[in-house]
Amino acid sequence: MKRISVDMDGVIANVYSQFITMHAAEFGKILSAGDVDGKTEEAAFENARKYVTSPGFFRTAPVMEDAAEVMLKLNEHYKLFIVSAAMEFPTSLIEKQAWLNQHFPYIGWQQIVFCGSKEIIKADIMIDDHFKNLNYFTGETILFTQPHNKLADSLHHKRVNTWREIEKLLLPR
């Protein structure tokens, strides 16, 4: 059975929604897609680091549209692993695990990998929104579109914009 590594932030957890909400609360301005497209989170949101270290940031992130349903199907056809480079924000570990338990209860603790670098991950397919993770991966790579990578050439990675596209790409019809 093939193994799939799925990133958490920006792939199944809508952290951009969190950034936009927190930025609007702090500065009174809701940023549009044009304001953030092509920019790193830090460039788009001047207090991004403050936001990601705020209690509740990861725990209250919305689930990406259709992610829970498609992930359930993937879990039936693949060895599915959630892989998050969470060690940069160690206070996020408990929030991320609680979030996964709530929104993806069919994902067991053995399927969750919190790490520092994803270079150690061995799977057949990796779904991620950051080139820094996909570029080192030796299997099939799928780039999940997010504002920070939207304007970049996807290079040798297959680009998807939605979980329905992932469903069509990876699940039998």
Nearest residue to 83 (alpha-carbon basis) of 106, 66, 100, 67: 100
| Cα separation, 43 vs 3, whole angstroms | 34
- Annotated catalytic, 7? yes
Task: Output the CA–CA distances (angstroms, integers) from residue 13 to 53, 111, 121, 156, 163, in the order listed.
Answer: 16, 16, 20, 24, 12
Backbone angles phi, psi at 21, to 5 degrees: -65, -45
Q: Which residues are 125's β-sheet partners?
A: 4, 140
Q: Which residues are 83's β-sheet partners?
A: 113
Cβ count near 1 (within 10 Å): 8
Nearest residue to 113 (alpha-carbon basis) of 79, 148, 153, 83: 83
- Annotated catalytic, 37? no
Please pick, among 7, 37, 124, 153, the residue that the annotation labels catalytic: 7
Report, as residue numbers or ranges, the catalytic residues: 7, 9
